[in-house]
């Protein structure tokens, strides 16, 4: 007899057994454990040393700041009860909430505020958020529940800086125990959940903190933060019930998830502005008519439909709506005839050739770049597209040493003002002090009046005065058109219908104070 058929038969039997043993029901979850499927791994649990929104959003599980933002990005006091500012705008006196405990059982008080601010403002600790807090000259303990912070110079956005997700209160006892570096592996804060374990890159788990100061919260027993890089896999996880919340949902999967009855797809407004910056130091972009022509030539409505599957709205200003002190100025109309006329007046009746760079190389950005190329072609501007990878972007744009030789021309990029305030939406992008390599004024835009307005707004604590100055700045920028403003993105998330109280905030951070699972 030939031995092979028998061999094959045994193998087949083995496979059959293996397949049969697979038929096991999907895992059942205990009632109040929630899994969040997120798009990338966490860099750290220390918000002062994080530069990504996601790590900071995750850290809200166990950390809270003196101030914070609610789900609509409105500033609210959290561990602070109130504050007063001295007339010169230099001294902030902050009254703290009583009866708050850290997860290690120690009390939260003014000393804790001092320890945390002293830590971040000390350059020796080399924290990535040093820049946001270096404005602090000193922090003093007035009494147990009153802290006084003195600034080096007036900075009216200071409370917004404190509300930024990085500005949290870490237990001084834990800091002392673990040290400034290792605290990232042993976070202890005042938040609703306490840290359990962090298995990189698998998951990070937190469980309910019984001594949380907000009575009756949190309403779930644990949250598992699970980084799942692949878009399709994240969507699959929602469908199998292995996760109850996911962000972001890619546009191409929106329809699939929408069709599932147990899932809810949410499109939330964002402060992520997408724009095309033009290098105003270089010909032909030094001519405002050329810049206007480019802004006129792009159909923003169509762009939102084509590249963002409709989950974006044409930008109606240089600062997105949800950001404090933003002014509605647009959207910039789509008018090809006018664009051609402007271009002819500027001396380019037949257009010209130039470079179009995208700051990102993912698929949505590719669609945007191709769409922009096609639109500019209509008025005779021929562009060569380059999708920059992160390293190239840093080298060719962000750290280019000499503004005069900067190779950037048309540059597709986006920004979100993480402090929810106009200063961080304007100064890093449009003040002349922010030309690369300092910050991100990739248009190399300079308007002295805008510079003065931005400086003036920071120095004043009078809200109406501030609003006036920011309005003036935004109107001037709109007129000078260093950018073609494109769209404001919408943030797509999905959650199981049993899950309530989890929101994606306009800055792509999460708010889950009210999280509950039915």
Out of 91, 373, 438, 460, the only residue in the binding site for another protein (CB under 8 A) is: 438
- Give the torsion through C-alpha atoms of 31, 37, 41, 42, to 10 deg: -50
Sequence-ordered list of residues with C-beta below 8 angstroms from that of 424, at least 6 positions apart, any chain: 157, 160, 417, 418
Three-state DSSP class for residue 44: coil
Residue 259 lies near another protein (rule: CB under 8 A): no
Rank residues 209 and 275 by Cβ distance to another protein and give the closer one.
275
Q: Report the alpha-carbon distance of residue 116 to residue 159 in Å, rounded.
A: 15
Q: Pattern of binders to another protein over 236-255, x per CB under 8 A? A: xx-xx-x-------------
| Three-class SS of 434-475 | HCCCCCCCCCCCCCHHHHHHHHHHHHCCCHHHHHHHHHHHHH
The alpha-carbon radius of gyration of the chain (Å, integer) is 26
Instruction: Find the binder of another protein among 74, 98, 126, 283 (CB under 8 A).
Output: 126
Collect all residues with Cβ–Cβ distance below 8 Å to 248 and sequence separation of at least 6.
39, 491, 492, 493, 508
CA distance 264 to 258: 7
Among 82, 84, 150, 232, indicate the residue that binds another protein (CB under 8 A). 232
By CB under 8 A, is residue 114 in contact with another protein?
no
Binding-site member from 128, 208, 367, 455 for another protein (CB under 8 A): 128
Whichever of 99 and 401 has its CB closer to another protein, that residue is 401
449 binds another protein (CB under 8 A): no
Tell the smallest beta-carbon distance from residue 437 to another protein (Å). Answer: 6
Could you tell me how many residues of this chain bind another protein (CB under 8 A)?
61
Encode burial over 7-29: b for 16+ CB neighbours within 10 A, e otherwise.
eeeeeeeeeeeeeeeeeeeeeee
Q: Is 270 in the site for another protein (CB under 8 A)?
A: no
CA distance 278 to 445: 9
Q: Does 432 bind another protein (CB under 8 A)?
A: no
Asked whether position 23 contacts another protein by CB under 8 A, the answer is: yes
Q: Give the rounded distance of the alpha carbon of 294 from its chain centre.
A: 28
Contact residue for another protein among 9, 17, 51, 105 (CB under 8 A): 51
Task: Verify binding: residue 17, another protein, rule CB under 8 A.
Answer: no
Which DSSP category does 65 fall into?
B
Mask: binding to another protein, 318-347, rule CB under 8 A, as x and -? ------------------------------
Q: Where in 374-413 is the site for another protein (CB under 8 A)? A: 389-396, 398-399
List of residues contacting another protein (CB under 8 A): 1-4, 7-8, 11, 22-27, 41, 43-44, 51-52, 123, 126-131, 134, 181, 184, 199-202, 226-230, 232-233, 236-237, 239-240, 242, 389-396, 398-399, 418, 424, 428, 437-440
């Amino acid at each position: 007899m030939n031995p092979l058929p028998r061999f094959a038969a045994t193998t087949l039997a083995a496979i059959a057994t293996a397949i049969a043993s697979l038929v096991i029901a999907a895992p059942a979850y205990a009632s109040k454990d929630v899994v969040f499927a997120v798009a990338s791994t966490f860099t750290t649990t220390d918000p002062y040393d994080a530069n990504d929104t996601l790590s900071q959003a995750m850290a809200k599980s166990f950390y809270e700041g003196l101030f914070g933002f609610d789900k609509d990005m409105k500033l609210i006091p959290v561990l602070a009860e109130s504050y007063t500012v001295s007339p010169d705008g230099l001294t902030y006196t902050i009254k703290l909430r009583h009866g708050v405990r850290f997860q290690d059982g120690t009390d939260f008080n003014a000393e804790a505020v001092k320890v945390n601010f002293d830590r971040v403002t000390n350059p020796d600790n080399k924290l990535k958020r040093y820049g946001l807090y270096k404005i602090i000259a000193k922090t003093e303990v007035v009494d147990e529940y009153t802290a006084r912070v003195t600034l080096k110079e007036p900075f009216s956005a200071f409370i917004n800086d404190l509300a930024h997700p990085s500005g949290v209160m870490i237990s001084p006892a834990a800091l002392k125990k673990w040290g400034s570096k290792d605290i990232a592996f042993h976070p202890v804060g005042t938040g609703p959940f306490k840290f359990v374990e962090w298995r990189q890159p698998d998951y990070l788990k937190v469980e309910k903190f019984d001594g949380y100061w907000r009575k009756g919260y949190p309403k779930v027993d644990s949250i598992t933060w699970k980084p799942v890089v692949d878009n399709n896999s994240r969507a699959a996880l929602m469908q199998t019930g292995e996760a109850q919340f996911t962000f972001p949902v890619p546009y191409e999967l929106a329809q699939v998830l929408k069709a599932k009855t147990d899932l809810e797809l949410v499109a939330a407004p964002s402060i992520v502005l997408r724009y095309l910056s033009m290098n105003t130091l270089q010909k032909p972009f030094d001519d405002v008519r050329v810049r206007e022509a480019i802004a006129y030539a792009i159909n923003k409505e169509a762009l939102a439909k084509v590249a963002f599957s409709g989950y974006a709205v044409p930008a109606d200003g240089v600062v997105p709506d949800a950001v404090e002190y933003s002014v509605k100025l647009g959207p910039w109309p789509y008018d090809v005839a006018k664009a051609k006329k402007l271009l002819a007046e500027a001396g380019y009746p037949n257009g010209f050739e130039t470079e179009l760079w995208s700051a990102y190389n993912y698929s949505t950005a590719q669609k945007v770049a191709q769409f922009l190329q096609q639109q500019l072609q209509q008025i005779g501007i021929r562009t060569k597209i380059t999708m920059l990878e992160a390293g190239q972007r840093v080298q060719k744009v962000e750290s280019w040493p000499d503004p005069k030789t900067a190779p950037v021309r048309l540059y597709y990029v986006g920004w979100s003002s993480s402090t929810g305030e106009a200063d961080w939406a304007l100064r890093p992008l449009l003040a002349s002090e922010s030309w690369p390599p300092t910050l991100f004024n990739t248009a190399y835009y300079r308007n002295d009046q805008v510079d003065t307005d931005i400086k003036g707004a920071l120095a004043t604590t009078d809200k109406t005065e501030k609003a006036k100055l920011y309005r003036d700045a935004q109107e001037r920028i709109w007129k000078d058109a260093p950018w073609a403003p494109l769209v404001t993105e919408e943030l797509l998330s999905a959650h199981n219908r049993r899950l309530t109280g989890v929101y994606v905030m306009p800055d792509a951070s999460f708010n889950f104070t009210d999280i509950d699972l039915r």
